[in-house]
Amino acid sequence: MSSVRAPSWQTGKAIAIAGLLWGAAGSYATARAGVPDAAPTEPPAAAPDRDAAMPPTTDDGEHRQRLPTDGAMPPSEYMPRRRKPPRNDDAPMPPRESPRYRSAAPTASNQAMPPQAYRRTAARRRPSVPAWLRHHAPSGASVEMSLVSGALFPSRAHELYDGRAQFLALAPAAATIGGRIDFFALPWFGFEIEGVAMPTRVRRGARVLLAGLRGGVVLRLPWRLAPLLAGGIGALAVSSSPDVLGDDVDESFHIGGGLQFFATRLVMVRLDVRDNITHRRGVGGAPAHHAELLLAVGVRFGASIGDTPRPTPSAVPRDTDGDRVADAFDHCPAHPGTVPHGCPLADRDGDGFPDRVDACPDAVGIAPEGCPPPNDDDGDGLVGADDRCPSMRGSALDDGCPAAELPTRAANEVGPGLAELEGVLVGVAFDSGTLALTPTARATLSRLADALQRSPGVRVEVVGHTDDRGSDDANRTLSTGRATAVVRALVDRGVAADRLVARGAAGDEPIASNATAEGRATNRRVELVILRDE
């Protein structure tokens, strides 16, 4: 028979703690459900009947479903839960004495940041370079050639001497002169090579010539005033008589920094401070350091140096009609138009509203949609009692009746109104560089159409003129197009097309000097010529 081991006191303690936690969780769940913690004083009800009616619903039609195993449902069980009211940001703030005022009051932490603040914050985060630092800034694929001068401060422990000669210390400083060539593949990275000569003396007084040849790389900021770092390898040599230092060459390393300033697109100045490292006299010693100060003045070459070059005339795209839309993108390259397609705005009825915005493109209309006024069936701009011929399109000067309804003149008789309009048509103008008539031209064209209708047997010629600016072909195309636009407007106003002739004279018939702006404006005109039988 097996024995059962009694649980230890640690196990009992764990069971007790688990029971306490389980009881606390049950109490919390009961409180959340709205059930009172205390037991009811009245005796428990009998077991519920499955066929018993459900508890009454609340006013909003909601109730809790009761399970068959549940006992009597207290009133708090089938009362609807209180819903959290929806948030209304436009509701007024609670009074200051309310306990909710502190949480509802707007603070710097819960207020929304406006979009402008976001943009300003982003702009502050982006580092910006001042304009004067971008001006004449270096660019890639450029070559710089410089003259170099400065001073070398040799080390007292140098090894620049022939082993067969004696060691002599060099003078504290030596003048430096030479040249340098730099190639910058990128605005901030380049290669350089330089050669320098440094005439000096030994401390005993004999003349010595030092020379250096070195190459390396340069890192700099691509600004007009550019800090830089330079380093590389090379050789440092000495040349003198055998009884002084003899001839010797030592490899060298150099590293340093400086500052470069681009005064113009071509001229720049550079200042370097370097440390030239060579062998030290003796065996196993530390390197010898030769300080050097260099000043260089030079020029730079390259296709894209400094500022952006201006386009050459050959790079300017061709624009035949002069409407500022290049021929490569112009759908009407021979006729001045508007952006983006370069075609003139069509206006079939000549009411000043282009067809693309005119709700009635075939009838003379008024603002805002370009349609005739209400009850104007014939589209002549007159309605009601003012229109004597409401079913026929006429003119405002003849009470809305066409010329056929008026007393006719002789076949070739020129009426007084038409004779007065012969010559320059004052007020007939076009938008700059286009074939679109201005709104001020409508009154003149309506008066001209009425005069032509009173002289039915007269033929006229409409001549367009330009100044001498631009090519002759473009001016002839423009003048012909404008004369045709006037003829089309007259036809839309009831004038027979076989009585009208359009001609473009370009700039061949000036009436003023093209040397001044006023004269050129006078030459840009539209003329009416009455074709009389000879």
For 268-321, write each residue's pLDDT tens digit: 999 999 999 998 887 666 899 999 999 999 999 885 554 444 444 545 678 887
What's the half-sphere exposure (Cβ side, CA atoms, 13 Å) at 369?
A: 6
pLDDT of residue 65: 47
Structure tokens at 285: 């010693």
pLDDT of residue 334: 76
Residues 6+ apart with CB under 8 A from 272: 150, 230, 256, 257, 258, 292, 293, 294, 295, 296
CA distances from residue 173 to 249, 250, 435 in whole angstroms, order as listed: 19, 19, 80
pLDDT of residue 151: 96
Cβ neighbours of 73 (radius 10 Å): 16
Residue 453 confidence class, pLDDT cut points 50, 70, 90: confident
> Of the ranges 135-149, 239-253, 322-336, 386-400, which one carries the lowest mean pLDDT score?
386-400
pLDDT of residue 101: 46
pLDDT of residue 412: 60
Residue 211 confidence class, pLDDT cut points 50, 70, 90: very high
pLDDT of residue 249: 92
pLDDT tens digits, 116-163: 454 444 445 555 778 888 888 888 889 999 999 999 999 988 888 887
Mean pLDDT of 506-518: 86
pLDDT of residue 35: 44
Q: Select, from the ranges 181-195, 310-324, 351-365, the one with the highest average predicted confidence (pLDDT).
A: 181-195
Mean pLDDT of 452-480: 87
> Of the ranges 144-148, 195-199, 246-250, 353-357, which one carries the lowest mean pLDDT score?
353-357
Q: Considering the chain, what percentage of its residues have pLDDT values greater than 90?
A: 25
- Rounded to 5 degrees, what are φ and ψ at 150? 170, -145
CA angle 383, 389, 406 (to 5 degrees): 135
Does residue 63 register a pLDDT over 60?
no
pLDDT of residue 386: 65
* The model scores a pTM over 0.75: no
